[in-house]
Each structure stands twice: as structure tokens, then as C-alpha cells.
């Protein structure tokens, strides 16, 4: 969906500004998802699959939908504490993007948005979620082709973990993750929402 309406763009900008709490980039931000170690690509859910009970981790992650305007893309994430005890977060979601064949897409995951857009950089804070509380984060990228000799990349599947070393869940990306040939995606810190 391309937005040409100024009022709609302002609404999306305000929504993105409210949702984005991006941390400052550090050398650690410039990691490749391949550096996180081998990952098993997500498997297709069965047509008869229904919503499972709360995972053993005590949290469930889902997308809240995406916005696209002038090449800038934003996808909201929501983590729900579906368990029966408090859950702590402090940092950034860990994500992996896969192509239509469920092969990993080589890209750089950037903690923050400095390389994607400006004005949304704040450090992560410790968040404690009581049962049924929620936290939000945002993925941010540009559909931009800067080098005609490099093939544009599209991701079709996405997995997200609350933090490094924790189990990931498959999340609906609400459309393609059309990275152009930028090779990077930004992710905000978790924020109580």
C-alpha cells in the first residue's frame, strides 16, 4: 500500500513516532543474522492449526500490521505475557527473515533506526510485564534500490524471539519484507505498551 495522502502520512508518522523507541547504534548493531548461529527455517503451519495455548516461554509474539509510505516500511510487533508470572525484557527483539523457499535472507539487523531514518533513537529500558501485559517494538526498513547490479531482496517469512538465546516464534510479516538492495533492517527496543 503506497500512501500519497498527506493526512494519512502524518497519521502513520505519528503512529510510527509513538511506537518507535529505537536505541542508539553500536558496533554490536552491525551483526548479521547469520552470526547468531544456525537457525531452523520456520515450517508452514497446517491448515487445521488453531491458536495454541500459551507457549512454555510464557509469552506470545505477533505482528500488529504494517505501514508503507514513500519507500519507508514499518511493521509493529506485540509481545503478550500469556503466562502466570511477571516477564522481564530489556533490549531488542531478535529476528530472522526467510525467502519464499524458507531459506535465510542475508541481511544486517540494526538495533535502532539511524541507518534507516532519523529522529527515533532512544536506548532500551527494562520492562516488566505482569500477566496479560504487552510490550511493543517496530521493525523498520526501506524498499530502496541503490545499485542496479545487486538483486533486490524480498523476505516472505519472519521469526522473532524476545531476546538472544530465547525461542523464536513465526510472525506474520503482513506482506513482503521488501528490502530492495539495502541489506538491512532496523528494530526498536521493547517498550511497555
Could you report the per-residue pLDDT of 99-151, keeping only the tens digit for each?
999 999 999 999 987 888 875 667 899 999 999 999 999 999 999 888 889 88
Q: Based on the structure, what is the number of domains in the chain?
A: 1
CA-based angle 36:142:29, to the nearest 5? 30
Percent with pLDDT over 70 in the chain: 72
Q: Is residue 124 part of a domain?
A: yes
- At residue 41, the pLDDT reads 55
User: Cα(153)–Cα(13) distance, rounded to whole angstroms?
Assistant: 25
Range of the domain at 148: 22-38+55-192
Amino acid at each position: 500500500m503506497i500512501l500519497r495522502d498527506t493526512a494519512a502520512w502524518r497519521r502513520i508518522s505519528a503512529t510510527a513516532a509513538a511506537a518507535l523507541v529505537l536505541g542508539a547504534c553500536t558496533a554490536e548493531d552491525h551483526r548479521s543474522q547469520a552470526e547468531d548461529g544456525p537457525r531452523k527455517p520456520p515450517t508452514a503451519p497446517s491448515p487445521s492449526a488453531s491458536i495454541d495455548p500459551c507457549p512454555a516461554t510464557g509469552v506470545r509474539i505477533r505482528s500488529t500490521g504494517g505501514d508503507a509510505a514513500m519507500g519507508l516500511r514499518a511493521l509493529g510487533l506485540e509481545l503478550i505475557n500469556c503466562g502466570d508470572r511477571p516477564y522481564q525484557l530489556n533490549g531488542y527483539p531478535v529476528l530472522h527473515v526467510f525467502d519464499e523457499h524458507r531459506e535465510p535472507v542475508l541481511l544486517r539487523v540494526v538495533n535502532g533506526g539511524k541507518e534507516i531514518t532519523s529522529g527515533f533513537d532512544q536506548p532500551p529500558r527494562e520492562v516488566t510485564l505482569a500477566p496479560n501485559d504487552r510490550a511493543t517494538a517496530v521493525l523498520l526498513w526501506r524498499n530502496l534500490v541503490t545499485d542496479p547490479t545487486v538483486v533486490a531482496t524480498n523476505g516472505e517469512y519472519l521469526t522473532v524471539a524476545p531476546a538472544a538465546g530465547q525461542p523464536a516464534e513465526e510472525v506474520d510479516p503482513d506482506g513482503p519484507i521488501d528490502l530492495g538492495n539495502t541489506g538491512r533492517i532496523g528494530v526498536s527496543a521493547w517498550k511497555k505498551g
